[in-house]
Amino acid sequence: MEPLLKIKDLQTRFYTDDGVVHAVNGVSYDMDAGETLGVVGESGCGKSVHALSIMRLIPDPPGKIESGEIIFDGRDLLKLSEAEIRHVRGKDIAMVFQDPMSSLNPVYTVGFQIVETLMLHKNMNKNEARDRAGELLTLVGIPAANKRLDDYPHQFSGGMRQRAMIAMALSCEPKLLIADEPTTALDVTIQAQIVDLVNRLQENLGMAIMWITHDLGVVAELARKINVMYAGRIVERGQVEDIYKNPRHPYTMGLLGSLPRLDEAPGTKLVAIPGLPPDLVDLPPGCPFAARCGFRRDRCLEETQELVPAELRDHLVACWRWQEITRGKA
């Protein structure tokens, strides 16, 4: 069976006064229908830009998708006209953004914004769309949903606004939902509620979900597969349980080592990754993580390793020395 989403060698650049920002550098992976994929990494590693590239929402200028293919449901999204991609956005692929206050239009009611989407993509009349909008707000756990349709975004709490954004994203029953750090601005209790909500919706609706985050704990709860990104590249990819138990890339090891664990002895120190991410305007040759890596050798500074199979199922890693590191011989 063909994957729902197939990305091949995606490269996205931003042309600025300071130089060319190499935001996404040769990203390739597949995603199946109904799959939940986590995309993790530090701020500035290309997580959001790669998602905006899928949606064809890169502002041009200064941004440009330089090359690659984004095959979604059998069609290359990069070859579609603006009119064609507008029919894909919202209907087949929906996106929930990090800050719902800037995503929802403050001068229109929440109900109007959901109704407009349903009338555009589902050819419903106004009454049908309003009834469906009430059902969607109820689905995402907003009390007295039909009454809240006439409220404006500022009358909703942060968690309720995020639920409204999810309701809008689900309104056309998309095949793929991209959630770009949707819980970052919320407190821990509301975060847990949103994660639980998305889990239940995924089980009930069967859609594929791409969850973009820097929170490895959320990914462990939600996703089946994970892409670890660094400097615009995927440095490790595989099943969540495999990568959490047996990380192969030094960057992934550093990320996991920086998390507190319940099974560690009291007083165990967290690992800090030294240094800073590379300047995406002036990327060094070789492995982008080499300058911060304690396992680097001369080859790491000179040559870039592509993703290669590791020993576990569907596990890929972009490291010259992963075998030596894994066996403790590095």
Q: What is the mean pLDDT of each run of 10 residues along the chain (330 residues)?
A: 93 94 95 94 90 93 93 94 89 82 85 89 89 89 90 88 85 88 76 81 86 86 92 95 91 86 74 87 92 91 91 88 79
**Per-residue confidence (pLDDT) for residue 308, from 0 to 100:** 93
Of the CA atoms within 13 Å of residue 296, those in its CB half-sphere come to 16
CA separation for the pair 247, 83 (Å, rounded): 43
CA separation for the pair 330, 320 (Å, rounded): 11
Give yes or no for a contact between 54 and 70, defined as CB atoms under 8 angstroms apart.
yes
Give yes or no for a contact between 178 and 212, defined as CB atoms under 8 angstroms apart.
yes
**Per-residue confidence (pLDDT) for residue 248, from 0 to 100:** 92
**Per-residue confidence (pLDDT) for residue 141, from 0 to 100:** 83
For 142, list phi and psi in degrees, rounded to 5: -95, 120
CA separation for the pair 126, 111 (Å, rounded): 11
- For residue 209, give the nearest of 24, 2, 5 by alpha carbon: 5
End-to-end CA distance of the chain: 40
Q: Return the ∠ at Cα 316 (arms to 314 and 320), rounded to 5°.
A: 155
**Per-residue confidence (pLDDT) for residue 48, from 0 to 100:** 92
**Per-residue confidence (pLDDT) for residue 330, from 0 to 100:** 55
Long-range contacts of 323-327, Cβ-Cβ distance < 8 Å, separation of 24 or more = 324/295, 325/248, 325/250, 325/295, 326/246, 326/248
3-class state of residue 273 by DSSP: coil
**Per-residue confidence (pLDDT) for residue 211, from 0 to 100:** 93
CA separation for the pair 321, 45 (Å, rounded): 22
Q: At a CB cut-off of 8 Å and minimum separation 6, what does 57 contact?
A: 89, 95
